[in-house]
Chains A and B, each alone.
Chain A
């Protein structure tokens, strides 16, 4: 009964499963994550109407997908944890590369790193990617921490530094998957360590700075706080920091925001274009992926949202300010130090979430 009811309910909530025949593509992507002109161009060229829906957290995406029959044709989950979990749940359609001639435009080095999560790259193509690091207000941090080099997680993770920065505002994004690996790496441990000892060490390090942390909130809230100057140090996604910096410049209120890619080695993450197994219109989804992987289209997207893409031939068309920003496109040396977070076993996942709750509660 239940198994029959749930899909029914999901169907009622689904955006457009019925409209599949009339050449509609249902896209579900992160908010503020595309150049709207690109979508219009796709419709002009193919005649496929795009219904573009957005989420601002992976949890929302996963929640919608988990009930089944979401009605979406193309989703953009982050490699870990959502893409990996959807893959394990059998919720993703293998991509048909014959329908994606532009697949060859993808950077093979980056795709190889995704293969850790998606063996053989069968289910996902990189849309945009980035690192996890610190968004800072250099003026305030330099004043609070004279003589401290601004290139490492030491800024946040050393309790004596955190104590001195507490006044100007420390924030950490509310996402154990995106924070714990970096903390482990900072501790000199395996970022993909899932043993009790790893968890204990990470928890001790986080608790030591907890009294100085003002807010542990979703990354979208951190973007806001950095742009308005409410936070002077925040652990979050690179692209969000770069967007916050742009917004702060536009607001013209004397707030300067910079990004610190930790020299210890930053966590790499990938937002992957994928097709749900029950997508009503997988043909259109393949066409859209192929369309997006064109160099000029990818360049337009990167120029708009300031995240790096994985199509190297788009680089000449990316605005110089974005292209030459080492925080957007890290150089090879910095890229060599990055790591990709793997999928923890289920038991470790629960231990990790519990650890995170204790960190948030400050108990």
Chain B
């Protein structure tokens, strides 16, 4: 019993210090009153922050936009991630390591650096427009940056490994004789994928979806640097409340609501994990 406690103590301490305590501070600020001062709030049980969120549909729309963008990002990551994960899982074991390393390699460079690279590619005077103009495929530069497409490209690129890794883990464990049996019985590869591979790896796919969806819903940097001005996601609205309005209670209330909204999919994720 004592040994068990000793083993778990660091984990509990970690959770307490870096999950429970910040969440508690956040909740306390969310219920506080904004006040010009340092720090810019006065502790109280006012709930003005939450009331502000309920009064203005602007916030509701921000949540809607964030969930929609996160959903599309996660869906695209699955569509791209499945074939990638399958290719890696079916490669020779020696080569798998190389392929996984290639997948992870861009992930090791700085996040902002990668966003900067996208901006360099997509801007009016960027590489893509340079090639298109040189080939005579367009007369004037295409406006690629600051569009929804640019934002989604950046998000999918940033989160793709989160989708590929769980899919790979499931696909590599998949008994290849199952697919072979289906094909022996006359199923075309597409049918075999839909009737055998997909059902067996469905929990991993759901996990992959959620691993992308949850962080993407709170994303701030990519929409801010690459997205169109109308893409006001929760992350951007939270930033405005915190920095421009200097209204920490409203900003904290937004974060608390987002956390609660994301608890539902996290619960779902845990259920899937628990399945054998």
Contact = CB atoms under 8 A, between A and B. Distances in A.
Contact of B245 (A63, A68, A353): A353
Interface in B217-249: 229-230, 232, 237, 239-240, 242-248
B126 to A, nearest CB: 9
Nearest to B243: A59
B244 A353 contact: yes
Given A3-B43, A228-B125, A230-B123, A214 B245 contact: no
Given A62-B246, A90-B38, A230-B124, A2 B229 contact: no
A98 interface: no
Q: How large is the interface on B (under 10, 10 to 19, 20 to 34, 35 or more residues)?
A: 20 to 34
Contacts of B25: 2, 5-6
A349 B245 contact: yes
Contacts of A57: 243
Contact of B38 (A91, A228, A358): A91
A41 interface: no
A90 B237 CA distance: 27
Contact of A68 (B39, B58, B125, B239): B39
B40 to A, nearest CB: 5
A98 to B, nearest CB: 27
Contact of A357 (B58, B143, B242, B243): B58
B163 to A, nearest CB: 29
A169 interface: yes
Interface string B23-64: 001001100000011111001000000000000101001000
Given A357-B237, A360-B232, A350 B38 contact: no
Contacts of A59: 239, 243-244
B143 A350 contact: no
A215 to B, nearest CB: 5
A66 B232 contact: no
B146 interface: yes
A353 B40 contact: no
A229 interface: yes
Contacts of A358: 58
B151 to A, nearest CB: 12
Contacts of A228: 123-125
B21 to A, nearest CB: 8
B87 to A, nearest CB: 38
Contacts of A214: 143, 146
B40 A89 contact: yes
A145 interface: no
Contacts of B146: 214-215, 217
Interface string A118-161: 00000000000000000000000000000000000000000000
A357 B236 CA distance: 10
A65 B229 CA distance: 28
A47 interface: no
A230 B124 CA distance: 6
B60 to A, nearest CB: 12
A330 interface: no
A117 interface: no
A206 to B, nearest CB: 12
A358 B39 CA distance: 28
List of 3 A-B pairs having minimum Cβ-Cβ separation, nearest first: A59-B243, A216-B229, A360-B229
Given A5-B25, A361-B61, 6 more contacts: A2-B29, A2-B43, A68-B38, A89-B36, A169-B124, A353-B240
Interface of A: 2-3, 5-6, 57, 59-60, 62-63, 65-68, 85, 88-91, 167, 169, 176, 213-217, 228-230, 346, 349-350, 353-354, 356-358, 360-363
18 contacts: A59-B244, A62-B243, A65-B38, A68-B39, A89-B36, A90-B38, A91-B38, A169-B143, A215-B146, A217-B146, A228-B123, A230-B124, A350-B245, A353-B245, A360-B229, A361-B232, A362-B229, A363-B61
